């Protein structure tokens, strides 16, 4: 009940991160019918292009081998091994072509569905894979019965089409039996090709349907609840509380650096209690006065206290202080519209050594 409710709550499509994590773990959509179709296709290719020649070659060899049975020496173990190797090589030539086609088709079917990748998690030993309980649930659970039903349906459908296609096969076989062996071999080959074509087409339709279904099911299983999406967003973008704390720490560090620069200021412009801007001007180094600190209320008072401790002139210019506070930034030159007013204050310092 809880599992069903959990599935119903997963209404959101998987995020890119969820999909990426699934791919990295090797949890990819895979149709089991695609390799089956590829195997039938490989057998069909072998039957059309290789079967007749291979069968004729193998039949010719075996007929010669059996007709001259008394010509083969079996006196020693080496003689027996030589005959065994000879027969094995001839049979392997036929079987080898079939196996090569089947292996190539299986690999191609897998590569077509997903790009090969090495996933350590997939090969790590897990107790669940050898657990009798887990194995029983896989075989006799809902998924097990679904797979059984699919397999039974495939057999019924493919068998039905095969029966329809092979209605005249018996007549052709009986007619072929009274012909010479070469023609009879061609009849058998044609019937086999016809049967394989029908079965391969049916399996192809099933494979295409299963391919789309497996990808759809994969997307459904990756769906997330709204809470999971929010949690992932927090992990990706950062928890708002943590981000606020980090911003606060960053502001504190910036404020400390700013206050440590106040003793280097040339003058401070203040609105008695609300604003304070500390400026540095060195004739040889600075093209224009540089803002080393600025603050409001308590920070403004602290800037004035530090300036007083280091004998830095503080000019109370309310209009200028308010106007500058909104337009200047720390570690930058003051805007050009304030050059004249600030230059007048600096001139007073250098000319008379005035302390406000």
Given a cut of 70, whether residue 236 has pLDDT beyond it is no
Sign of CA dihedral 161, 162, 163, 169: positive
Of the pLDDT bands very low, low, confident and very high (cuts 50, 70, 90), residue 203 is confident
The residue among 135 and 337 whose pLDDT is bigger is: 337
The domain in which residue 50 lies consists of: 2-234
Question: Residue 38 CB: number of other CB atoms within 10 A?
Answer: 24
pLDDT of 46: 86
pLDDT of residue 356: 42
Mean pLDDT of the chain: 78
Q: Report, as an integer, the average pLDDT of 105-127.
A: 73
Output the domain CATH number for residue 290: 3.40.1690.10
Query: Is 242 a domain residue?
Result: no
Long-range contacts of 237-243 (CB under 8 A, 24+ apart): none
Residue 117 within any structural domain of the chain: yes
CB atoms within 10 A of CB 122: 11
**What pLDDT is stored for residue 5 in this prediction?**
45
Q: Are 134 and 175 in contact (CB under 8 A)?
A: no
CA–CA separation, 134 and 127 (whole Å): 9
Q: For residue 166, how many other CB atoms are within 10 A of its CB? A: 14
What is residue 178's predicted lDDT score, i.e. its pLDDT?
61
φ, ψ dihedrals at 292, nearest 5°:
-100, -20
Question: Does residue 250 belong to any structural domain of this protein?
Answer: no
Q: Are residues 205 and 269 in the same domain?
A: no
Total domains, the chain: 2
Has residue 246 been placed in a domain? no
- Per-residue confidence (pLDDT) for residue 184, from 0 to 100: 65
Backbone angles phi, psi at 132, to 5 degrees: -65, -40
For residue 299, tell me if it sits in a domain. yes
The per-residue pLDDT for range 273-295, each reduced to its tens digit, is 788 888 888 887 888 888 888 88
- pLDDT at residue 259 in the model: 85
């Amino acid at each position: 009940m809880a599992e069903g409710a959990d599935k119903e709550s997963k209404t959101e499509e998987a995020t890119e991160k969820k999909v990426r994590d699934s791919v990295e773990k090797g949890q990819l959509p895979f149709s089991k019918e695609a390799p089956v179709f590829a195997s039938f296709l490989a057998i069909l290719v072998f039957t059309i292009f290789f079967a007749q020649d291979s069968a004729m070659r193998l039949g010719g060899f075996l007929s010669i081998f059996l007709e001259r049975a008394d010509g083969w020496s079996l006196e020693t173990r080496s003689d027996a091994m030589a005959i065994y190797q000879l027969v094995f090589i001839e049979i392997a030539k036929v079987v080898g072509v079939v196996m090569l086609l089947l292996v190539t088709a299986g690999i191609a079917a897998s590569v077509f569905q997903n790009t090969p990748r090495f996933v350590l998690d997939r090969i790590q030993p897990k107790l669940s894979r050898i657990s009798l309980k887990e194995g029983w649930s896989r075989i006799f659970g809902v998924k097990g019965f679904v797979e059984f039903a699919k397999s039974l349906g495939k057999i019924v459908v493919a068998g039905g089409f095969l029966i329809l296609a092979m209605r005249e096969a018996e007549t052709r076989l009986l007619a072929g039996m009274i012909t010479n062996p070469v023609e009879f071999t061609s009849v058998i080959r044609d019937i086999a090709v016809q049967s394989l074509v029908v079965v391969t087409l049916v399996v192809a339709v099933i494979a295409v349907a299963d391919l789309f279904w497996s990808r759809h099911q994969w997307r459904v299983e990756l769906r997330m609840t709204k809470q999971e999406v929010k949690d992932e967003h927090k992990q990706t973008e950062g928890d708002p509380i943590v981000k606020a704390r980090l911003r606060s720490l960053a502001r504190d560090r910036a404020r400390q650096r700013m206050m440590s620069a106040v003793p280097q200021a040339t003058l401070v412009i203040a609105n008695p209690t609300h604003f304070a801007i500390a400026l540095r001007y060195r004739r040889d180094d600075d093209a224009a006065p540089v803002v080393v600190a600025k603050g409001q209320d308590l920070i403004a008072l602290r800037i004035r206290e530090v300036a007083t401790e280091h004998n830095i002139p503080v000019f109370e210019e309310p209009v200028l202080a308010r106007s500058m506070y909104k337009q200047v930034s720390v570690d930058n030159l003051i805007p050009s519209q304030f050059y004249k007013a600030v230059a007048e204050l600096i001139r007073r310092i250098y000319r008379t050594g005035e302390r406000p």
